[in-house]
Amino acid sequence: MANLLADSLSPYLRQHAGNPVDWHEWGEAALAEARERDVPILLSIGYAACHWCHVMAHESFEDEATAAVMNEHFVCVKVDREERPDLDAIYMNATVATTGQGGWPMTCFLTPDGAPFYCGTYYPSTPRGGMPSFQQLLHAITDTWHQRRDDVGKAAAAIVGELQRSSGGLPPGAGRVDAALLDAAVSAVARDEDREHGGFGGAPKFPPSNLLEGLLRGYERTRRTDTLDLVSRTAEAMARGGIYDQLGGGFARYSVDAGWVVPHFEKMLYDNALLLRFYAHLARVTGAVLFRRVAEETATFLLRDLLTAEGGFASALDADTDGIEGLTYAWAPAQLAEVLGPDDGAWAAHVFSVTREGTFEAGTSVLQLRDDPDDAERFARVRERLLLSRQTRPQPARDDKVVTVWNGFAVTALAEAGVAFGVTEWIEAAATCARTLLDRHLVDGRLRRASLGGVV
């Protein structure tokens, strides 16, 4: 039996329409019901391609017993972070402020007026790794709500106060942006570099596209080769790792390890648009064949896998395929041999670091390219055959929501890369996407956040 999400335009919300949870969309009706029933709001925020969102949904939101607790003691609200980035930003700030970290699915408990008093992310269905089960958390929150309401009010007031303080911005005259400040910023970033694996900090690692763009501008301003080397090391590490799709192009959202080997497999439009632009800029500066190839293949991925019938670009490809993470992308040596034959299969296993032990799960590996192969023609032929074979596998679902700002990133990236490399097709795709946004998303003088199937 469908809940109130069945008619939503959001693919993520519709994923939960068949849950036994009595989900509401965010709005005054949900807040009013919480006030009338005198219960907290359970706010769950995620997105359609999110692996751990799927896990929590399967473990808890599809479970009748858990849903019964949620429905009895809370007004349950689902939010698509891509559809409501304003709400996501508010409650993510609250989650980070109270726990020191964030992520999705985000799980927040609010007073009926929307003030957060307890925040977290994923909760398992059974106690694990020092975390309570989700049902244990629900009962604890319910007990606190009824027995220690003053504590709830104090916690909510403290969190709201911290959010108001931190959102105040910098004081007037707080700092002057000059060459010395920019040089200090580059030096500070360089100290955080992972010189073994590339990138910055430890696991998990996200592609730092904007940071790399900033560092590249720093090189263009100063012509310091150590800055360009820093940028190139990270760019090469990402391009050779499993976070980059070595067959089809495009980047996954992040790597779970420090070495860029194993990604969470969702591919987001915003990541790939920003990375296309960065690699195109870097290829122009360095002339490196690898960086140009990554830019070209990422543009090809956008046009092949994310282009919608209306001329915009879809939000994402799912992390999971048929409920299994990496099903589309991981390979075992025997699978390579089956597609390519024994000789090319063994060669491909060596080239792509596919081992019997595996780098992922159940003896499978995520393809990497640690070194350029010595036979370019063989490499191109093997990649083509593997990609064609992979396309016969079950494929991840696509979130067809067209998000305005992310499509704006794609317009910029395709236009700039198209001009840089002289590819008319990319420039035309950018122009078509821009016209689509203006024709469909600009309504009564206001630019709408997103559309689905042309409906805003």
CB atoms within 10 A of CB 319: 24
As a whole number of angstroms, the longest Cα–Cα distance in the chain is 71
Digit-coded pLDDT (tens) for 445-454? 999 999 998 8
CA distance 251 to 398: 15
Phi and psi at residue 455, to the nearest 5°: -100, 125
pLDDT of 166: 80
CA distance 344 to 332: 14
The single-letter DSSP state of residue 205 is B
Pairing relationship of beta strands 23-25 and 75-80 according to DSSP bridges: parallel
pLDDT of 121: 96
Two structure tokens written together for 308 = 């919608």
pLDDT of 309: 94
The answer to whether the CB of 266 falls within 8 A of the CB of 49 is: yes
Place of tokens 């930003």: 89
Which DSSP string corresponds to 289-336?
HHHHHHHHHHHHHIIIIIB-TTSSB-SEE-SEETTEETTTT-B-HHHH
The single-letter DSSP state of residue 46 is E
Taking the CA atoms of the chain, what radius of gyration do you get in angstroms? Answer: 24
Reference 402, options 302, 299, 300; nearest CA is 302
**101 to 95, 106, 121, 238: CA distances (angstroms):** 7, 11, 9, 24
CB atoms within 10 A of CB 163: 16
pLDDT of 1: 55
Digit-coded pLDDT (tens) for 358-415? 999 889 999 999 999 999 999 999 999 999 999 999 999 999 999 999 999 999 999 9
Please indicate, yes or no, whether the overall pTM of this predicted structure exceeds 0.85.
Answer: yes
3-state SS string for 120-140? ECCCCCCCECCECCHHHHHHH
pLDDT of 172: 72
Query: What DSSP element (H or E) covers 107?
Result: strand 106-110
For residues 248-261, b (16+ Cβ closer than 10 Å) or e, as one string? bbbbbbbbbbbbbb
State which residues of the chain have pLDDT below 70.
1-2, 169-171, 173-174
Place of tokens 């960086």: 291
Residue ranges of domains in the chain, CATH in brackets: 11-166 (3.40.30.10)
